[in-house]
Structure 1
């Protein structure tokens, strides 16, 4: 049920217990299937519930999806979750992002100064949030980002840390059987 080398076993609504059984059952009923990460997160109803809530909340983010995916690519290169990286690259491609822009995001930059500045701040939030400067935030504003979009980057970072760290702990890899 999980990829080669998985440390935790993916659950199903039949093998999960308690709140996890209910959450997985609802997800399978609504979507027909759920991926290995979600099925494996079901070992902890707190983690699964938190992931689902944060994921839903970030779908309402003001920051555009293209920028969010490029930020996520840069974050996952640094975090090292190949499963997340592959998912964010596929999502970026589905939005029409060029391979050149995806490659630039892998290098923590972008040919678009707005995206490059947002990636820079996102990586600072990830690595050293106490080091974020007034000048960095002002630069984002000068590039046309609203305070809401600037705040959204923290949610994007948090969601990437949660999913990437979980997948790395669980030993999930790209191509894990879904």
Structure 2
């Protein structure tokens, strides 16, 4: 059961009202549980929206990004986010074996396994990242920009997962999706 109430453009105030109204207009009046609940804090909602938009311009391939998201959410424990990222990975053509590997924090592809492992280290223990690891990622063909983007993907997943867990949002909690 949700711990925080959902807001609408009619029940939100100030900046949150404006943000929700803009989202509702872009999404045919439909607002997901997470953004509706995030509206209690215009700082959190605005930060989420800005980071989400920025990560849409990331250099990482979307299939790789979704596998990173699955690994982070499997570790973090947000069922709502995990469900959303598994669905997105399937829509992008990631097969079930790779989705399961992503849940375990790896991949059959060595390059993808290496970047997913880096993401989990960024999440769990960033001080353990080595020069050799970053060099190996470059040898697999990842640019410095793509490697840096891993931090953004992890940060976005920590934000959304932690928020959903705090707010008590779970899959099917009221029939809406997680995002906007």
The alignment status of 1:95 with 2:82, answered yes or no, reads no
RMSD: 0.6
For normalisation by structure 2, the TM-score amounts to: 0.95
Number of matched pairs: 174
* Residue ranges of structure 2 left out of the alignment (5+ in a row): none
Moved over 2 A (4+): none
Separation in 1 of the partners of 2:151 and 2:173? 28
- Residue 36 of structure 2 is matched in structure 1 by 39
- 1:36, distance to aligned residue in structure 2 (A): 0.4
- Residue 168 of structure 1 is matched in structure 2 by 165
For normalisation by structure 1, the TM-score amounts to: 0.97
SS in 1 for 2:172: coil
- Residue 26 of structure 1 is matched in structure 2 by 22
Separation in 2 of the partners of 1:113 and 1:12? 45
Separation in 1 of the partners of 2:43 and 2:134? 33
* Residue ranges of structure 1 left out of the alignment (5+ in a row): none
CA deviations over 1:9-63 (Å, ceiling 9, x no partner): 1111111111100100010011111200000000000000000000000000000
SS in 2 for 1:34: coil
- 1:176, distance to aligned residue in structure 2 (A): 2.5
The alignment status of 1:13 with 2:9, answered yes or no, reads yes
Separation in 1 of the partners of 2:31 and 2:58? 23
Separation in 2 of the partners of 1:152 and 1:161? 14
Separation in 1 of the partners of 2:123 and 2:7? 30
